[in-house]
Amino acid sequence: MQIQAHETDDALLKRAAKGDERAFTELYRRHQAPLYRFAVRMTGSSWAAEEIVQDVFMMLVREPKKYDPDRGTLGAFLYGVTRNRIMKHLERTPRDFSLDDAGDACRESHPQLHEQMTPARWAELRERREQVRAAVMDLPSEFREAIVLCELEEMSYDEAARALDCPVGTIRSRLHRGRALLLAKLEMLRDTPKRANVGRR
Amino acid sequence: MTCEEFAIAGLDLGSPEQDGPLQRAAREHLRECPHCAALHENWLTLRQDLRGLGAETAEAETPSRVEMRLRQEFRRHKTVKTQRAAFVLGWGLAAAAVLTFAFTWMNWRMHRSANVADTQPNVVHAPASNTSTAPRPSTDSDSGEVLLASNNVGDFTLLPDSMPPAPEDATIVRVQMQRAALAALGLTVNEEHAGDWIQVDLLVGDDGLPQAVRLPQTVQQSTN
């Protein structure tokens, strides 16, 4: 059976629940990227993100009835499940962040940038990014997810509120706290002697 | 706008999330307060870094091996589901067949025992007939026995000066009495056997008086 581009997620999920593999594949392709990015940015690990996204879609294969269309969109539901998996992962491994892993991801995603810059400039940029990344990863998870969704993912407050299933006001306050914490942390890092940064790695 | 208010709402300056009057107030405060202007400057730099960080993974996607694994799992799950459905269907059909057989067998058994009961002579559990003297189960007030008798009307002899009772009022009572007592009911008795004890079925009306009498087969044979 052909998949129509405008076919809704709910219709695709129904077909997938009846055993239509193409419908399931289409659903996966529609939703995997933002979920993966969210998981990568929250966990700081591409391996963990891969595992989390796989778990989320496995759940959709095995228990498609867990999703109730009356309670929201499939996208929001998948975000919610991903978020729960991320939280479990963070509880299990509270500080599972590899700068090398993140650096590799950066190099892979911007090969031209890497080639165009001088080594000194590249090192400086990389150091700065790593500081920011480390500061984001140090945030408490509720502030981190607000920062990830609204600043890194560039979602609107409404979209973030829907994804996290919370009021817009909660997003605003978490963002405010998260930004303040980030600023404080990065100001502190800037004033810290270089040696301390190296030691931190 | 105060510095505290700016710290809360001012960082959204220029964002579509902030409404017009609030933006104007924030811009005005920025011009007046160098501390908040520095804070805003820092925030803009940090936001640029955050956006850069986001851009690093903006094109990131789940590796294709995940899709392969998920599709494999989907196929496996589909097969398991089909097998489970076939299993349930098979057992359902088997259970239905067993139930049908059991029901048919019970029906046949009941039908057969009913036929056997119909062929048995005399004393049976029988419903009241639609004839005028049809018998039905009753209690014997004299002897305490509860008896059922054939509803064969022809067996009963109406007592002199009595009318056949309505079928719903008729009760058959089996009693034991001396043959001589039949004379009291207006029947003629052989004097040689007047002292014999015999069993008699009495058809009793709703007034409690016997309306007809019948001698069971064995007794009739012995009295003759």
SS (H, E, C) chain B: CCHHHHHHHHHHCCCCCCCHHHHHHHHHHHHHCHHHHHHHHHHHHHHHHHHHHHHHCCCCCCCHHHHHHHHHHHHHHHHHHHHHHHHHHHHHHHHHHHHHHHHHHHHHHHHHHHHHHHHCCCCCCCCCCCCCCCCCCEECCCCCCEECCCCCHHHCEECCCCCCCCCCCCEEEEEEEEHHHHHHHCCCCCHHHCCCEEEEEEEECCCCCEEEEECCHHHHHHHC
Least CB–CB distance from A32: residue in B8, B56, B61: B61
Name the residue of chain A whose CA is nearest to B6's CA. Answer: A176
Q: Which residue has the higher pLDDT, B1 or A170?
A: A170
Q: In angstroms, what separates the C-alpha of B102 from chain A's closest C-alpha?
A: 36
The total of structural domains in chain B comes to 2
Predicted confidence at residue B36, as pLDDT, reads 84
Please enumerate in sequence order all residues whose Cβ is within 8 A of that of A46, keeping only pairs 6 or more positions apart, or say none. A40, A101, A105, B60
Residue B61 belongs to some domain of the structure: no
Q: Which two structure tokens, joined as six digits, stand for B155?
A: 């067996």
Interface residue A22 vs chain B (CB under 8 A)? no
CA dist list (Å): B93 to A87, B80, B81, B98, B106: 47, 20, 18, 9, 20
Name the residue of chain B whose CA is nearest to A26's CA. Answer: B67
Q: Which residue has the higher pLDDT, A184 or B156?
A: A184
Mean pLDDT of B156-179: 80
Range of the domain at B40: 3-56
Q: Are A109 and B27 in contact (CB under 8 A)?
A: no
Interface residue B70 vs chain A (CB under 8 A)? yes
pLDDT at B114 over 90: no
Predicted confidence at residue B141, as pLDDT, reads 42
Least CB–CB distance from B71: residue in A21, A157, A183: A21
Name the residue of chain B whose CA is nearest to A22's CA. Answer: B71
Q: Are B124 and B150 in contact (CB under 8 A)?
A: yes
Q: B77 to chain A: which residues are within 8 Å by CB?
A: 61-62
Q: Mean pLDDT over all residues of chain B?
A: 76
| Per-residue pLDDT band at A38 (split at 50, 70, 90) | very high
Predicted confidence at residue A174, as pLDDT, reads 92
Mean pLDDT of A36-62: 91
Q: Are B193 and B177 in contact (CB under 8 A)?
A: no
Q: Which two structure tokens, joined as six digits, stand for A6?
A: 């405008």
Domains of chain A, by residue range, sit at 9-92, 106-200
Q: Mean pLDDT over all residues of chain A?
A: 81
Mean pLDDT of A152-162: 87
Q: In angstroms, what separates the C-alpha of B91 from chain A's closest C-alpha?
A: 22
Q: What is the pTM of this model?
A: 0.58
Mean pLDDT of B115-140: 47
Residue B195 belongs to some domain of the structure: yes
User: Which residues share a beta bridge with B201?
Assistant: B174, B214
Contact assignment for B71 to A154 by CB distance below 8 Å? no
Q: A186 to chain B: which residues are within 8 Å by CB?
A: 46
Please enumerate in sequence order all residues whose Cβ is within 8 A of that of B107, keeping only pairs 6 or more positions apart, or say none. none
Q: In angstroms, what separates the C-alpha of A129 from chain B's closest C-alpha?
A: 7
Q: Are A147 and A178 in contact (CB under 8 A)?
A: yes
Among A residues 52-71, those touching chain B with beta carbons less than 8 Å apart: 53-54, 57-58, 61-62
Residue B9 belongs to some domain of the structure: yes
Q: Please tell me the CATH code under which domain A106-200 is placed.
A: 1.10.10.10
Could you give the percent of chain B with pLDDT greater than 90?
12
Report how far residue B165's alpha carbon sits from residue B203's, in angstroms, rounded to the nearest whole number.
8
Residue B24 belongs to some domain of the structure: yes
Could you give the percent of chain A with pLDDT greater than 70?
79
Predicted confidence at residue B221, as pLDDT, reads 47
Residue B131 belongs to some domain of the structure: no
Q: Which residue has the tokens 């500061």?
A: A135
Q: Hey, how many other C-beta atoms are within 10 angstroms of the C-beta on A153?
A: 19
| Per-residue pLDDT band at A84 (split at 50, 70, 90) | very high
pLDDT at A147 over 80: yes
In terms of Cα–Cα distance, which of A65, A75, A64 is closest to A159? A75
Predicted confidence at residue B93, as pLDDT, reads 93
pLDDT at A125 over 90: no
Residue B191 belongs to some domain of the structure: yes
Burial class (CB in 10 A: 0-12, 13-18, 19+), B68: exposed
Residues in chain B, how many? Answer: 224
Name the residue of chain B whose CA is nearest to A103's CA. Answer: B56
pLDDT digits (tens, 9 = 90+) for B55-100: 888 888 888 899 999 999 998 888 888 888 888 999 999 999 999 9
| Per-residue pLDDT band at A82 (split at 50, 70, 90) | very high
Residue B192 belongs to some domain of the structure: yes
Q: At residue A91, what are phi and psi to the nearest 5 degrees?
A: -65, -40
Residue B72 belongs to some domain of the structure: no
For the A9-92 domain, the top CATH level (class) is mainly alpha
